[in-house]
C-alpha cells in the first residue's frame, strides 16, 4: 500500500508520498519505499561460500580461467571473486577487499564488497572458504616431459672454442632467456643443454624466441646463420617441426690479427658478416666482408702483443727496445701518430713489427 494525499501538493509542487515501510514522508526510491528501507532489504552482491584456486607448486603460478600466471595471491583471489560473484549494476565505484587466514592450504576469508548507490555507501560482507588445489601447470609439465621446439647450435669456423669463450657464449644465451622470462614469456625455458669444445646446444621450448636469440648471438659475435627444420611427429592433426638455428662464429675473434690483400689488420668489432678492422701500417679503419677473411691468415689475438720501450722518435720513425733482450729496432710510424708514452704495445706478424692501436 502506498499512502498518497493527492490534494496536498508540497512546497515543490510534488505530491507527498509516504514510505510503505517506515511511513515517513521521504522521497520514494523504488517499489513504494524510501531509499533507506530499500537498502535494508536489498542484497547487492552474492557469491559462493566455497571456492577452489589451483596452484602450481613447481613455478608458484596460479590458474585463472585457462591460463596460468605468476601473480600475487591477492590479485588472483580478486579475479576469481569478480568471476564468481554477481554484483548489482546499480552499485557504482565497486571495490573488493579480502582478508584471509590460512590453515592447511585452506583459507578462511572475508570478502568485503562496497560501492555507492545514490551517493550512499553500501558495504556487504561474505564469508568465503578458499581451498588451494595443487596441480602441475602446462609449462611445468612440458618442461618435465623434455619438451622443445628448437635447438640453438653455436659452432665456430675451423676451430674449437677456448673455455673462456664458451663461458661468455653460454652466459649470453642464458641471460637473454632470463630477460625474456622476466618480461612475461612464461612458456620459455631451456629444456636441455649440451657443451663440448666444438660448441653449445640449447634446447628451447619456443621456436620463435629461439630464432630471435640465435639472431642476437650472430649480431653480437659475428658469423653465419643457418636454419633447418626436422619433422617431429603430429600434434592436433598438424605436422610438427623442430627447428635448428645454427650460428657459426668466425674463426677470428675481436682483437685478432690477420693478413688480407698484402696488408695486416687488427679486428675492432664483428657484426653479423662484417668485420671492422684497423690496417696496422696506416691505422686506418675499414670494414671487410667476413667471407673475404676466410682464406687469409689469422695469426691470433692479444697473446701476441709485446710491450716495448720507446727509445726515440722522429716524424716518420720510432726506435723501440725489447725490455728483455735490450735489442733495438726502428719502424715506420703510421701517419699523424705521436707517441707520448714510454712503453708501447707491438705485434710481430710474418716478421714485420707493428704498433698495436688503442
Ligand atoms: Zn522507509
Ligand atoms: Zn608450473
pLDDT, residue 210, reads: 96
β-bridge mates for residue 113, sequence order: 96, 124
Distance 57 CA to ligand 2 centre (A): 7
Distance 68 CA to ligand 2 centre (A): 8
Cell numbers found for residue 156: 665456430
Please state the domain extents for the chain.
Answer: 3-41, 45-138, 146-249, 257-355
Its pTM surpasses 0.75: no
Q: Which ligand is nearest to the CA of 20?
A: 1
C-beta of residue 170 within 8 angstroms of C-beta of residue 195: yes
Average pLDDT over residues 255-279: 90
pLDDT, residue 5, reads: 47
Distance 136 CA to ligand 2 centre (A): 5
Please state, in angstroms and rounded to a whole number, the distance separating the CA atoms of residues 2 and 19.
Answer: 7
Distance 30 CA to ligand 1 centre (A): 10
pLDDT tens track for 27-86: 888 888 988 898 888 899 999 999 999 999 988 899 998 889 888 999 999 999 999 999
pLDDT tens track for 172-187: 999 999 999 888 888 8
Long-range contacts of 67-71 (CB under 8 A, 24+ apart): 68/137, 68/138, 68/139, 68/186, 69/186, 70/186
Q: Which ligand is nearest to the CA of 35?
A: 1
Average pLDDT over residues 275-284: 91
Distance 20 CA to ligand 1 centre (A): 7
Please state, in angstroms and rounded to a whole number, the distance separating the CA atoms of residues 335 and 106.
Answer: 80
Highest mean pLDDT among 5-9, 34-38, 275-279: 275-279
pLDDT surpasses 80 at 299: yes
Residue 195's CB is within 10 A of a number of other CB atoms, namely 15
Distance 3 CA to ligand 2 centre (A): 64
Cell numbers found for residue 258: 690477420
Amino acid at each position: 500500500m502506498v499512502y498518497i494525499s493527492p490534494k496536498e501538493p508540497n512546497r515543490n509542487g510534488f505530491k507527498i508520498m509516504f514510505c510503505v515501510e517506515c511511513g515517513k514522508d521521504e522521497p520514494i526510491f523504488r517499489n513504494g519505499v524510501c531509499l533507506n528501507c530499500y537498502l535494508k532489504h536489498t542484497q547487492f552482491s552474492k557469491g559462493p561460500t566455497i571456492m577452489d584456486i589451483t596452484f602450481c607448486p613447481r613455478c608458484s603460478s596460479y590458474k585463472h580461467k585457462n591460463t596460468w600466471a605468476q601473480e600475487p595471491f591477492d590479485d588472483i583471489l580478486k579475479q576469481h571473486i569478480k568471476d564468481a560473484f554477481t554484483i548489482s549494476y546499480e552499485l557504482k565505484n565497486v571495490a573488493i577487499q579480502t582478508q584471509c587466514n590460512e590453515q592447511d592450504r585452506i583459507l578462511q576469508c572475508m570478502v568485503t564488497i562496497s560501492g555507492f548507490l545514490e551517493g550512499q555507501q553500501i558495504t556487504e560482507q561474505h564469508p568465503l572458504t578458499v581451498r588451494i588445489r595443487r596441480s602441475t601447470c602446462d609449462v611445468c609439465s612440458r618442461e618435465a616431459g623434455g619438451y622443445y621446439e628448437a635447438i640453438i647450435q653455436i659452432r665456430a669456423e675451423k676451430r674449437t672454442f677456448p673455455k673462456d669463450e664458451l663461458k661468455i657464449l653460454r652466459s649470453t644465451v642464458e641471460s637473454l632467456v632470463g630477460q625474456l622470462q622476466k618480461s612475461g614469456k612464461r612458456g620459455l625455458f631451456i629444456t636441455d643443454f649440451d657443451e663440448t669444445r666444438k660448441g653449445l646446444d640449447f634446447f628451447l621450448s619456443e621456436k620463435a624466441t629461439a630464432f630471435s636469440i640465435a639472431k642476437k648471438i650472430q649480431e653480437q659475435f659475428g658469423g653465419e646463420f643457418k636454419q633447418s627444420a626436422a619433422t617431429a611427429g603430429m600434434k592436433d592433426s598438424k605436422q610438427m617441426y623442430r627447428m635448428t638455428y645454427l650460428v657459426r662464429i668466425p674463426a677470428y675473434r675481436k682483437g685478432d690479427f690477420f693478413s688480407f690483400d698484402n696488408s695486416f689488420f687488427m679486428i675492432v668489432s664483428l657484426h653479423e658478416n662484417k668485420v671492422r678492422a684497423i690496417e696496422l701500417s696506416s691505422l686506418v679503419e675499414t670494414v671487410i666482408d667476413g667471407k673475404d677473411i676466410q682464406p687469409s691468415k689469422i695469426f691470433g689475438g692479444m697473446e701476441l702483443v709485446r710491450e716495448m720501450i720507446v727509445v726515440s722518435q722522429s716524424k716518420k720513425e720510432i726506435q723501440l727496445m725489447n725490455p728483455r733482450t735490450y735489442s733495438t729496432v726502428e719502424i715506420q710510424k703510421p701517419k699523424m701518430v705521436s707517441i707520448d708514452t714510454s712503453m708501447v704495445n707491438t705485434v710481430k706478424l710474418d716478421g714485420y713489427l707493428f704498433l698495436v692501436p688503442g
